[in-house]
Amino acid sequence: MPTPLGLALLFAESFVVYSLLRYPDEKSTKKLAQRVDLQKHEVNPLLTLLARKWSLNAAFRVTWVLTASIIAAADTFLGITISPGIPAVAFFFGTVHILAAASNIQLDYRTKNTSREEIDAETYRFARSLSALDWKGRWTLLLERYAFTFLVTIISLAAIFLYLLSSAIDPTSEFSNVGAVMSNASSVEIGAILLFFPSIFLGTIAWSRRLTKFYRSGKLVGPTGPGGQYIEIPVSIAEEALNIAKSKQASTIRLQLNATPSTP
């Protein structure tokens, strides 16, 4: 029977472990918030609600204390540890935060050359597409846009379901073979997911080396070469813009492209 001091130490260990693993997710989310509107992009409804009522920092503090306390209480009640000083529940949910942080870092890199206005415009177009569809069309659009996430979710849930169901079957019953098949199937699916990401990483390294080789050999065409993107401007418009610029003694000319026409 654990002593009160032992339970208190386990609670504190769980709280600290979860907090440390959660920190990269919080830091990367705050960095993204400098460029994107979290109310439109954050998937955690509690965080967006609290951030809307108070501030992002306050929302993170509240969710941190609340979540860490619940997880620490679960670790204290269950008493499952991976090793001394590493509570299982805290490590499990902390790992989820590490994955979320990695996703944030990747998204930050992909959008670092994109302005906030461009991100908002893309979000608006996606929201407009969703709003124009019925529930079936929305599901189809979401499945197409997030096909990888959807498929991994299905495989993961199937693996969990098969494992739990196989554990519930008595090995001595007439359905023992069915239970073994379910257990093996869940192991194969989990193994496939675990091996997929290392394969993608190794493939990315090989791809980056090949891309670098193409660039150094001159096989890659720059944006100003053939295949680049161009726009055609009528001469009359160019001349008018030049005349206006000269009359205002401007040193540059700004042309607005893809402007949304105003409605009367």
| Cβ neighbours of residue 138 closer than 8 Å, sequence gap 6 or more | 130
Residues 100 and 161 in one domain: no
> Cα–Cα distance between 264 and 247 in angstroms, integer?
30
According to the model, what pLDDT value does residue 225 have?
46
> Residues 80-107: what's their mean pLDDT?
91
Cβ atoms 30, 18 nearer than 8 A: no
In a domain, 244, yes or no: no
Final residue before a domain boundary, out of 62, 92, 113: 113
Final residue before a domain boundary, out of 67, 97, 113: 113
Residues 83 and 187 in one domain: no
pLDDT in tens, 138-178: 999 999 999 999 999 999 999 999 888 888 776 766 767 88
The chain-wide mean pLDDT, for the chain, equals 86
Residues 107 and 167 in one domain: no
In a domain, 226, yes or no: no
For residue 114, pLDDT beyond 60: yes
Domain containing residue 203:
146-219
Burial of 182 (0-12, 13-18, 19+ CB in 10 A): buried
Residues 58 and 105 in one domain: yes
Residues 9 and 106 in one domain: yes
For residue 190, pLDDT beyond 60: yes
Q: Give the DSSP letter of residue 249.
A: T
Q: How many domains does the chain have?
A: 2
Final residue before a domain boundary, out of 202, 219, 236: 219
In a domain, 251, yes or no: no
- Greater confidence, 77 or 218? 77
According to the model, what pLDDT value does residue 255 have?
67
Residues 100 and 151 in one domain: no
Tally of CA atoms within 13 A in the half-sphere of 148 that contains its CB? 3
Cβ atoms 90, 82 nearer than 8 A: no
> Residues 35-50: what's their mean pLDDT?
88
